[in-house]
Amino acid sequence: MSSTPITKETYLEWYRSMLLMRKFEEKTGQLYGQQKIRGFCHLYIGQEAVMAGTMSVIKPEDSVITAYRDHAHALAKGVSADACMAEMFGKITGCSKGKGGSMHFFSKEHKMMGGHGIVGGQIPLGAGIAFAEKYLGNTNVNVCYMGDGAVRQGAFNETLNMAMTWKLPVIFVCENNGYAMGTSVARTTNMMDIYKMGHGFDMPSAAVDGMDVVAVHNAMDEAVQRARAGEGPTFLEIRTYRYKGHSMSDPAKYRTKEELEEFKGRDPLLSTKAAIVENKYADDAWFAEVDAEIKKIVEDSVKFAEESPYPDASEIYKDVYVQEDYPFIMD
């Protein structure tokens, strides 16, 4: 069970944060259809409880790193909707100065250590960040997210082995939404319980209901406690579901309407709202106020993005190296 209490305020923040993720992604999908957002775009709709349950446990000093379905991770970590939307528009005011787009949100200030396009590429990086935290002697942890397809990469096994050997303060989270692009987990492995892969390294591992924000909170809290105490990493398979396709170009014809409707019946946003109502934590007026607030935040982010300038052409030569006078640059 969680050592971080779940209070009325926790539930209200869960609802607000998940609503922001949901409405931001819905608006993103609309803008993509209008061709105001270009390139690849992967929406998080349905998976919001994973990030909400994480954020009610970790501290601002803790870092997160993920793959290319990264909008919600940045928003949850405190990156403004303005900076996120501007990034997708390719504007200089974006969180990655318009150079990353949808798949590469980054914020050093918020310890959002990037969305990464190479499948599984973020896994060893997450362990590296955790190694740095341990080397510096603090108690910060890294939460490293990946999809169910990424656990087939060799780097996954190599990293889990190293992290367990060195007892690194990292929580590996497989956001198992059932499909690696359009390929179901059942078609890629004989072992459907992905969390059991951690047992090969004697790593504490568990399956978690990713449609239940309370379950995510409790599992993450236990893992974070272990990491802060110097007891090493945890591997969590958080079983969630995306209501949209893998990306905006995916019609998702590989799954049935019945399956989709089943998971929509477990929508974490609706179940959290129901819990708030049942416990009388808020009334209709509060929900209306929050809905209006989130709607305005999203609308303002679009206005901000549209009115922001594109990067100057000279920006292509900046931020390539940390050291501006890097001595090995050749014209």
pLDDT digits (tens, 9 = 90+) for 184-240: 988 888 889 999 999 999 999 999 999 999 999 999 999 999 999 999 999 999 999
pTM over 0.75: yes
Residue 171's beta-bridge partner residues? 143, 234
Would you state the pLDDT for residue 185? Answer: 87
> What average pLDDT does range 287-294 have in this prediction?
98
Q: What is the pLDDT of residue 151?
A: 95
Is residue 331 very low, low, confident or very high in pLDDT (cuts 50, 70, 90)? low
Identify the residue with better confidence: 302 or 323. Answer: 302
Nearest to 194 by CA among 233, 245, 240: 240
- Rounded distance between C-alpha atoms, residue 291 and residue 289, angstroms: 5
- The backbone region for 269, taken as left when phi is positive above 0, alpha when psi lies in -120 to 50, beta otherwise, is alpha
